[in-house]
Amino acid sequence: MKELWNRHISEGDLRAYADHELSEIQVKPLEAHLKTCPDCQHTLAAVSTRSSVVQGKFQTLPVSTPELTPTWAARARLENMIERKESTTVFNKIFSKRNRTAWAILGIVAIALSLLAFPGVRAIASSFLGLFRVEEVAIVQVNPGDLPQQLGSSAQLEMMFTEDVQVEEEGEAFEPASIEEAESAAGFDIRLPGEVDGEPELLVKPGTTVTFQVDVERLRGILREIGREDIEIPEGLDGEEVVFSASTAVAAQYGDCEFDPGAAREEGYDPDDVNTPYLPRCTSLIQMPSPTVEAKPGLDINKIGEAFLQVVGMTPEEAAQFSQSIDWTTTLVLPLPANEATYTKVEVDGVDATLITEPKGQRNSQYMLIWVKDGILYGLAGPGGMETALTIGNSLQ
């Protein structure tokens, strides 16, 4: 900027002047020139008018976000990002606030696990007790709208994952060269369906142990955050451990199982929109020895189950009724969104199985079939409906 305004003043300087952003040394000569220069007066008026028009537009934008997360909670989220991003970015995506559905599921799993740790009576024995082994599958229908929304943004829950849950994986997943190699890694006989076209691609996923150390204060905090302080947590379990173990699993995949973002997008898949999941033309069968949960004895498992059901939206009465109809020590209870899938009991592979299907009329509908036979948990999923599911499920050899 010139010290003396012997030429016309630039629009930028006039703008700064109008915004009171010039120093006193600059203002005096500018005003002196302005007094005598109609051109500059005109420019100033035009600049000021335009800026007030634009300012008016910006005033329609809200000044502050309606849901500002408290600084300390945001700081805890950031800590998680730092931890997670250093290992994997996928995990971080799960923790994204945008990803509320995934969050809610994680939340349910976490709460299911944590609820398993609450005994009705104080644990006295020091040895661990085999508590749970999957023999059956039961579905509880959940209305996503009834889930505590706060699960998706619970900072306490995030911290629990970071601090109290330890995941130990026995190794990296790998593609075995043969079925024999897969069997020797898995330690059980692998069965494959006859009624699927193509050769299977096998994937061996070594076992995982999840150790959850009970932090009673934190659990109370989570229940407080989701507005369920009515669910009681007994004293005396602080610091105790609950161990969830899944043995080696083997997946057999048939068809178009590689995720190809380009091809998916052409079919209308939008990676930013959780409501349009990409449904590959891939049939997969997962088999693994039944996972187990171990904790100290003395657990009133019915009460725990009922609490879990209440968290996913049942009334205490409904929860009590459901709880009495199943054996919690042998039943894997899967929450299923009521609007998005239906389920039915079928017979497959000579045993009772649970078939989950999407509502009729949906494009690319998928099924999922779950059953347990001889201590092995099977999960079959693919495109199609009940008929396809039963045909493939019954063809295991």
Partner 1 sequence: MAVKINHMIKQRPVKTGDKAGVDIQTDVANAFEALFRNHWNRVCNIVYRLVGDPDEAEDLALEAFWRLYGRYRSGEIQENTGGWLYRVATNLGYNALRARKRRRAYEEEAAKELIVSNAGENTAAEVDSREEQERVRWVLGKIKPRSAQILLLKYSGFSYSEIASAVDVAPSSVGALLVRAEKEFEKKYRELEGRQP
Q: What are phi and psi of 32, to 5 degrees?
A: -65, -45
Give the integer Cα–Cα distance in Å for 144 and 340. Answer: 10
Query: How far apart are CB 50 and partner 1 at their closest, in Å?
Result: 5
Residues in the chain: 397
Q: What CA–CA distances, in Å, run from 252 to 44, 50, 182, 189?
A: 73, 65, 10, 13
**Which residue stretch of 139-147, 155-163, 224-232, 341-349 sits at the interface with partner 1 (rule: CB under 8 A)?**
155-163
Q: Is 187 in the site for partner 1 (CB under 8 A)?
A: no
Q: Is 150 in the site for partner 1 (CB under 8 A)?
A: no
Q: What are the tokens at 220?
A: 């109370």
Site size toward partner 1 (CB under 8 A) is 52
**Which residue stretch of 118-126, 251-259, 270-278, 284-292 sits at the interface with partner 1 (rule: CB under 8 A)?**
270-278
Q: Is 67 in the site for partner 1 (CB under 8 A)?
A: yes
Q: Is 8 in the site for partner 1 (CB under 8 A)?
A: no
Q: Is 273 in the site for partner 1 (CB under 8 A)?
A: yes
Query: How far apart are CB 18 and partner 1 at their closest, in Å?
Result: 9
Among 45, 74, 124, 263, contact with partner 1 (rule: CB under 8 A): 74
**Which residue stretch of 48-56, 183-191, 235-243, 316-324 sits at the interface with partner 1 (rule: CB under 8 A)?**
48-56
Q: Is 266 in the site for partner 1 (CB under 8 A)?
A: no
Q: Is 96 in the site for partner 1 (CB under 8 A)?
A: yes
**Which residue stretch of 105-113, 238-246, 266-274, 357-365 sits at the interface with partner 1 (rule: CB under 8 A)?**
266-274
Q: Is 97 in the site for partner 1 (CB under 8 A)?
A: yes
Query: How far apart are CB 97 and partner 1 at their closest, in Å?
Result: 4
Query: How far apart are CB 269 and partner 1 at their closest, in Å?
Result: 13
Query: How far apart are CB 95 and partner 1 at their closest, in Å?
Result: 10
Site string for partner 1, 286-325 (x = CB under 8 A): ----------------------------------------
**Which residue stretch of 14-22, 223-231, 244-252, 325-333 sits at the interface with partner 1 (rule: CB under 8 A)?**
14-22
Query: How far apart are CB 253 and partner 1 at their closest, in Å?
Result: 31
Among 98, 122, 224, 281, contact with partner 1 (rule: CB under 8 A): 98
Q: Is 15 in the site for partner 1 (CB under 8 A)?
A: yes
Residues of this chain that bind partner 1 (CB under 8 A): 1, 10-17, 19, 21, 47, 50-51, 53-55, 57-69, 71-72, 74-79, 81-83, 85, 96-98, 100, 159, 162-163, 270, 272-273
